[in-house]
Amino acid sequence: MMNTIVQAFGLVFQTDVLIAIFASAIYGLVVGSLPGLSATMATALLVPVTFYLSPIAAVATIITASAMAIFSGDIPGCLLRIPGTPASAAYTDEAYAMTRKGQAETALGICLWFSALGGIAGTLSLMVLAPVLAEFALSFSTYENFWLAMLGLMCATLVARSSPIKAIASMLLGLLITCIGIDNPGGVARFTLGSTDLLGGIEPIPALVGVFALAEVMRSITEREPPKLEHRRLGSILKGQWKLTKEYPVQQTRGNIIGIIIGVLPGAGADMAAWVSYAMAKRFSKTPEKFGTGHPEGLIEAGASNNASLASGWVPALLFGIPGDTITAIAIGVLYMKGLNPGPTLFSSQASSMYALYIIFILGNIIMIPLGIVMIRIASRVVSAPRSAVMPVILVFCAVGAFATAGNNLFAVWCVAVFGLVGFFMEKNGYPVAAMVLGIVMGTMVEQSFVTSLIKSDGSILPFFERPVASVLAAMTLAALLWPAFSWGLGKMRGGRAQAA
């Protein structure tokens, strides 16, 4: 045991591995912070590079770059209201509200500090609980996945500050958009208008970039520039975080646990973890009315959650070769390529390599803090730059990012343009665009799990409620669904009584 750990340290503290970690950390920070390039994209772009690296260095680049990219996706979201990754979309408005209050560095500090701690918590779960968590993941059939996806969708109404009706309308529009294409359970081409590109459906990334980034650029053209914020250099970024850690221990722990659970489940990743955690924070907060006005509570829980899910997503990947999310789907390919074939033998026969992976996870999350602080200091200057200089650059990033993400396909650029228009008019009329993005992210999972479940049960809906885990998830979903109606009715009754009196 001790011997293996010493060996593992030997494997990690090689010059090539350390250089790989450092370089991919900077790469992940930069790519994640560019609007239009997601953490998944950052990982996919690394695959060709891993060909030329030693096995441990190859896996190290994937681990480090994805963790950094998930954190730095918060940076443009916070500073410009343009989320860098779908995982940040849940709390972008909150972080941006803090920026408008002149607390950009605090908001980013929260994202950084709680991301790093969340990543370490996720790693500990991977080290200690991997077999237990893996068994848990294997108890999820399509019935459970369906409720899980529904629960994710419910978050749209919980998170939105607008009327729940408008949030649901946006979400349904997102679901409708995922109907496009042929990647559905029946393998039937829908809404493709005979176009090959539409056969592939609409990817979440161009839609996200369009409704957030491009719509923001359009707004900046049509609206007067908001009063300039003074660039204030705050004191130590970390000092404030320590205070917040002591103030919100429950939120942080809950975020970590939710992130770990969602990460382990196949098909649900950091995106969903952030949404669910932000919704949870608001639901159980003593001051839910402060949410959306630049309140740190939701940021802490969601930030703690999405990075925790990143590490625990490796559990089913390493044990069964089943991806927990899109990033581990790519990582599995790299593991095979490097002879680290997933399976329990990886834990027994190559134990030192496994420990090396754990060490890299922890190391990656630790160096995230100093590198992240540098990144925050540099990036927060964007706020004080004139909008007329920033917006054209963003426009270029949107187009280039979408083009590159889709494998040099111009179709994605058109997608961004169309979604930019859609997002602009939705926001103008008070429809939350984040809810639509959630619909697009979750739509495939909802449909796939529902249809396949019905095929398996010969059309009976009983198994959705019979299986133990499914029944618990069903109860939670229905409660989340009925709660707004219930509280609305309650308010109406009280209101009516007050008027009568």
Among 80, 319, 438, 446, binds other proteins (CB under 8 A): 319
Among 101, 231, 232, 456, binds other proteins (CB under 8 A): 456
Tokens 């294409």 belong to residue:
181
Phi-psi region of 236 (alpha: psi -120 to 50; beta: other; left: phi over 0): beta
Is residue 476 part of the contact set for other proteins (CB under 8 A)?
no
| Residue 111: CB minimum distance to other proteins, A | 27
Q: Alpha-carbon dihedral of residues 95, 96, 98, 102, nearest 10 degrees?
A: 140
- CA pseudo-torsion sign 272, 274, 275, 279: positive
Among 48, 227, 235, 468, binds other proteins (CB under 8 A): 48
- CA pseudo-torsion sign 410, 442, 76, 68: negative
The answer to whether 464 and 454 are in contact (CB under 8 A) is no
3-state SS class at 57? helix
Which residues lie closer than 8 Å to 413 by C-beta, 6 or more apart? 206, 399, 402, 403
| Residue 316: CB minimum distance to other proteins, A | 8
Binders of other proteins among residues 241 to 270 (CB under 8 A) are 266-267
Structure tokens at 377: 């200091």
The answer to whether 385 and 372 are in contact (CB under 8 A) is no
The span of 110-118, 151-159, 215-223, 317-325 binding other proteins (CB under 8 A) equals 317-325
Is residue 408 part of the contact set for other proteins (CB under 8 A)?
yes
The span of 72-80, 196-204, 239-247, 486-494 binding other proteins (CB under 8 A) equals 196-204
**Taking CB under 8 A as the rule, which mask of x and - marks residues 18-47 in contact with other proteins?**
-------------------------xx--x
Is residue 321 part of the contact set for other proteins (CB under 8 A)?
yes
Structure tokens at 494: 């009280």
Residue in 173, 211, 177, 204 with CA at minimum distance from that of residue 420: 211
Which residues lie closer than 8 Å to 499 by C-beta, 6 or more apart? none
Q: Which is nearer to other proteins, 339 or 386 (CB)?
A: 339
Is residue 164 part of the contact set for other proteins (CB under 8 A)?
no
| Residue 301: CB minimum distance to other proteins, A | 28
Is residue 141 part of the contact set for other proteins (CB under 8 A)?
yes
Is residue 468 part of the contact set for other proteins (CB under 8 A)?
no
The span of 76-84, 91-99, 175-183, 367-375 binding other proteins (CB under 8 A) equals 175-183
Is residue 350 part of the contact set for other proteins (CB under 8 A)?
no
| Residue 37: CB minimum distance to other proteins, A | 14
Q: Which is nearer to other proteins, 22 or 320 (CB)?
A: 320
Q: Which is nearer to other proteins, 187 or 235 (CB)?
A: 187
DSSP code string of 238-258:
HHHHHHHHHH-HHHHHHHHHH
Tokens 């750990």 belong to residue:
5
Is residue 187 part of the contact set for other proteins (CB under 8 A)?
yes
Is residue 199 part of the contact set for other proteins (CB under 8 A)?
yes
3-state SS class at 190? strand
The answer to whether 128 and 121 are in contact (CB under 8 A) is no
Which parts of this chain interact with other proteins (CB under 8 A)? 43-44, 47-48, 51, 137-143, 181-183, 185-187, 189, 196-197, 199-201, 203, 266-267, 316, 319-323, 329-334, 336-337, 339, 341-345, 406-409, 444, 448, 451-452, 455-456, 458
